[in-house]
Homo-oligomer: A and B are copies of this chain.
């Protein structure tokens, strides 16, 4: 039996080497490079370390020395707390977690809430980053860029980095076309997500309608507008809502406003399934029959979409796959290719039975 160090002093390679009577290098090799010593000695050392309660090298010191931590950072474009409540983000994170676990990488969640002043230097820890969503003026993102570490961007694009996206415009157009083709005398409302910079649920103005941009929402809006034009229909900005967060609460406010408008919309194009779910709830509350009196389409195809009643017609984007792909690009070092993932129109019950 070996004499253990005092409980309060954490064990180090050096202290353990003293107790075992071998050099620090040998113990380090026992853990990291089995070929550098005899199997017999290695086994003996590993067993003795276990007895002592030394579970292996300190990650911080090893990271400093090797310049590699085994940690992957996921940079989100809003507060963490928000992302845990968003079903789309949850699927995305699920995909990431799956791949990282398989590759023995740790997952560090980084929110943009980091203020400029209080710089923690956290960006120096991870070996690479998955950046989810446009990082408008996010100081942490700037610092991440300057680390020159591997980056994969998702749902937006930046020169020189691998990215994963979908064709939001085409997908939005397709689902809108389908909805409009099944609507007589269409009276359209659009419930948009993050169309403008405001924390309030509100309608957008005519000016804002033409403020083009490259964001996910703007692409979807463009797709909707294309469908509306091709069907020789039209819509004014006061039938287009801005919803700041993809939450049931915000969406419910917008849905209530939209379905209280006269003339009442009979076709609501929603930029997420969460929003569409809220529309369904308000429709039930107001005794509006879906799909007979009101067509509703969503976007994302979250798990709940197939369980609403009536089940939601929507655009399937494989969010889990997005996460998996982002993580595996990072892990494999495929750092240049820009991927457009396919989407699919999912016809359920909210447009036609």
Residues of A that sit less than 8 Å from B by CB: 7-8, 10, 53, 55-64, 69-71, 79-81, 84-85, 90-91, 93-95, 97-98, 100-101, 104, 106-111, 113-115, 118-125, 143, 146-148, 248, 277, 281, 284, 303-304, 307, 309
- In the bound complex, how far is the Cα of B70 from the Cα of A38, in angstroms? 40
Return chain B residues, CB-CB under 8 Å to A8: 148
Q: Using CB atoms, name the residue of chain B closest to A111.
A: B101
> Oligomeric state, in number of copies?
2
- In the bound complex, how far is the Cα of B105 from the Cα of A113, in angstroms? 11
Q: Using CB atoms, name the residue of chain B closest to A252.
A: B307
Q: Using CB atoms, name the residue of chain B closest to A303.
A: B248
Return chain B residues, CB-CB under 8 Å to A110: 106
How near does chain B come to A25, taking the closest CB pair, in angstroms? 18
- In the bound complex, how far is the Cα of B120 from the Cα of A111, in angstroms? 24
Return chain B residues, CB-CB under 8 Å to A64: 58, 60-61, 64
- In the bound complex, how far is the Cα of B2 from the Cα of A148, in angstroms? 21
- In the bound complex, how far is the Cα of B205 from the Cα of A103, in angstroms? 38
Return chain B residues, CB-CB under 8 Å to A81: 94-95, 97-98, 101
How near does chain B come to A319, taking the closest CB pair, in angstroms? 11
Taking a contact as CB atoms under 8 Å apart, the answer to whether B122 and A97 are in contact is no
- 24 of the cross-chain contacts (CB-CB < 8 Å) are A53-B146, A55-B121, A55-B143, A55-B146, A58-B64, A59-B120, A59-B122, A59-B123, A60-B63, A60-B69, A60-B124, A61-B64, A62-B121, A79-B97, A79-B98, A80-B101, A84-B91, A84-B97, A90-B90, A101-B113, A104-B115, A106-B109, A277-B307, A284-B309
Return chain B residues, CB-CB under 8 Å to A111: 97, 101
Taking a contact as CB atoms under 8 Å apart, the answer to whether A56 and B119 are in contact is yes
Return chain B residues, CB-CB under 8 Å to A100: 80
Taking a contact as CB atoms under 8 Å apart, the answer to whether A59 and B124 are in contact is yes
Q: Using CB atoms, name the residue of chain B closest to A143.
A: B55
**Which of the listed residues A60, A62, A93, A281 has the most CB atoms from chain B within 10 Å of its own CB?**
A60
How near does chain B come to A53, taking the closest CB pair, in angstroms? 6
How near does chain B come to A305, taking the closest CB pair, in angstroms? 12
Return chain B residues, CB-CB under 8 Å to A120: 59, 70, 104, 106
Q: A90-B85, A248-B307 are in contact. Are A101 and B79 (CB under 8 A)?
A: yes
- In the bound complex, how far is the Cα of B64 from the Cα of A238, in angstroms? 57
**Top 5 A-B pairs ranked by shortest CB distance?**
A80-B97, A59-B121, A84-B94, A81-B97, A81-B98
- In the bound complex, how far is the Cα of B107 from the Cα of A95, in angstroms? 18
How near does chain B come to A341, taking the closest CB pair, in angstroms? 19
How near does chain B come to A47, taking the closest CB pair, in angstroms? 14
- In the bound complex, how far is the Cα of B125 from the Cα of A62, in angstroms? 11
Return chain B residues, CB-CB under 8 Å to A248: 303, 307
Q: Using CB atoms, name the residue of chain B closest to A110.
A: B106
Q: Using CB atoms, name the residue of chain B closest to A62.
A: B121
Taking a contact as CB atoms under 8 Å apart, the answer to whether A59 and B101 are in contact is no
Taking a contact as CB atoms under 8 Å apart, the answer to whether B90 and A84 are in contact is yes
- In the bound complex, how far is the Cα of B209 from the Cα of A69, in angstroms? 46
Q: A98-B81, A107-B109 are in contact. Are A10 and B148 (CB under 8 A)?
A: yes
Q: A64-B61, A248-B307, A303-B248 are in contact. Are A80 and B55 (CB under 8 A)?
A: no
Q: Using CB atoms, name the residue of chain B closest to A109.
A: B107
